[in-house]
Amino acid sequence: MDSYAMVSLLGMLDVQEELPRKFVAERAIHPRGEADAWVVVTDDYELHPQATTYLGSLRALDRSVNTERIYAGRLALYLSYCAEYGVDWAEPRFIQLQEFMRWLIEQPLPSRARRPRPARFRKQSTANAVFTAVSEFLRFGVGPGWVSAETAAQLTEPKYLQYLPPGFNAGEDGRFRTIRARRIKYRVAVEGYEWLSAEQVDRLIALAGRARDRFLIVLLACTGMRIGEALGLRREDLHLLSNSESLGCLIPGPHVHVRRRRNANGALAKARSPRSIPVTEQVVSAYTNYLHERHQVLEARMSDFVFVNLFRAPLGQPMRYGNAKGMFDRLAKAAEFIARPHLLRHSAATRMVRSGTRREVVQDILGHVSPSSMDPYLHASDQDKREAVERVAARRTVTG
């Protein structure tokens, strides 16, 4: 069992099990104060050893703490379903997995509102994402002997690629055209990413009452970096002068460096290769204002992290993802539109693509490894389609 399996057991009750157990994801605290991790426990705080071991393997593979958190929640959902409906989680039959997928979209989501509201349901794409985590967990379980090879084999089937994805190497004589594809999966349309307009970004900046929060919004909107990359930035990564030769950097103009590190706040750059991203004068100005605010907090002066807690304990410690999410949730409520950190990444990429920036340049700025990751940004917008129709109509008027 992973050494991270130490969970705060506040309010633990010694009760007899009467109902099927529910499983939940919990953040575990390392006894030596190292980076936190995630585990899966029952509602009476008993560890699920196999799920916890699997989550530990994600850390060993250097996956981000956010990936671990999301997978923990998805595994807890699967294990709770199995407990409620009498399914052996390690040896589910094919039809039981199909029923689980149907349950995912038909079961109403728990309501957090104080007032009655219409029921909400998971999208089919969300169900696919949940099942991806479950499939990886079951396949991992073959090695330790928790899951039979036959059970894992039923998750996929051979599929011949009639049409090759962009950049796919079929190999000599097309020997790689046959792959293992998921057997249980909803067919969903591939849509363009949600993104925020320039006016919406400006609205978020205006609503942010703190210089630190304004700087975070401006930085994400300009660079398109992931929130984990931003929260993992160190002060040495910000080269905001016109010339950084004194810092041993020959890259001209203001820019930031994104590097993959293990951080105490769990922030982790997803891209393994370091990259630099140019920034605008607006970013430099926002950072200058933030420094004045930060300097007022004594505990923050010695931290080498860029984004730190200034307004609540523990002061001076690096911001966590939950802090940033809470900030965006408050801004979204005030702005009356959806606002998440990742939407600013989509916004930056969309503006770059539609301003005529070459695809490979945008890919390098965003830190995408695969060229196909850029595809969702290339979809036509409603405005693009309207302008196309109006151009045709204008030509007909002239020629008519």
The radius of gyration computed from the CA coordinates of the chain, to the nearest angstrom, equals 24
d(CA 329, CA 248): 39
Query: What's the CA angle centered on 60, arms 31 and 129, to 5 degrees?
Result: 110
Query: Has residue 304 got a pLDDT over 60?
Result: yes
Mean local confidence (pLDDT), 95-124: 90
Phi, psi of 276 (to 5 degrees): -115, 150
- The answer to whether residue 19 scores a pLDDT higher than 70 is no
> Please, which pLDDT band fits residue 43 given cuts at 50, 70 and 90?
confident
Q: Report the distance separating Cα 327 and Cα 114, nearest Å.
A: 21
Does residue 166 or residue 348 have the better pLDDT?
348
Q: Count Cα atoms within 13 angstroms, Cβ side, for 394.
A: 6
Higher pLDDT, 4 or 264: 264
Which candidate, 266, 262, 247, 256, places its Cα nearest to that of 215?
256
The whole-number pLDDT of residue 9 equals 35
Nearest Cα neighbor of 255 from 266, 244, 271 is 244
pLDDT tens for 159-174 read: 777 766 666 677 777 6
Q: Which residue has the higher pLDDT, 213 or 379?
A: 213
User: Would you state the pLDDT for residue 7?
Assistant: 39
pTM: 0.75
Cα dist from 73 to 21, 22, 26, 115, 345, whole Å: 15, 12, 9, 26, 24
For residue 156 the two structure tokens come to 């996929």
Average the pLDDT over 167-193 and give the result: 76
Domains along the chain with CATH numbers: 23-109+120-160+178-182 (no CATH), 198-378 (1.10.443.10)
The mean per-residue pLDDT over the stretch 94-119 comes to 89
Tell me the two tokens of residue 36.
């936190």
- Phi-psi category of residue 356: left, alpha or beta, with phi > 0 → left and psi -120 to 50 → alpha: left
Q: Are 237 and 257 in contact (CB under 8 A)?
A: yes
pLDDT of residue 34: 59
> Of 38-47, 180-189, 304-313, which gets the smallest average pLDDT?
180-189
DSSP type of residue 318: B
Question: Left if phi > 0, otherwise alpha if psi is -120 to 50, otherwise beta: which for 11?
Answer: left
> What proportion of the chain, given as a percentage, has pLDDT over 90?
61
Give yes or no for residue 232 having a pLDDT over 90.
yes
pLDDT above 70 for 23: yes
Tell me how far CA of residue 331 lies from CA of 25, 231, 290, 394, in angstroms: 27, 18, 18, 42
d(CA 260, CA 274): 7
Q: Where does the pLDDT of residue 1 fall: very low under 50, low under 70, confident under 90, or very high at 90 and above?
A: very low
Give the pLDDT confidence score for residue 223 in this predicted structure.
Answer: 96
Q: According to the model, what pLDDT value does residue 145 have?
A: 97
Range with lowest mean pLDDT among 75-79, 209-213, 345-349, 372-376: 372-376
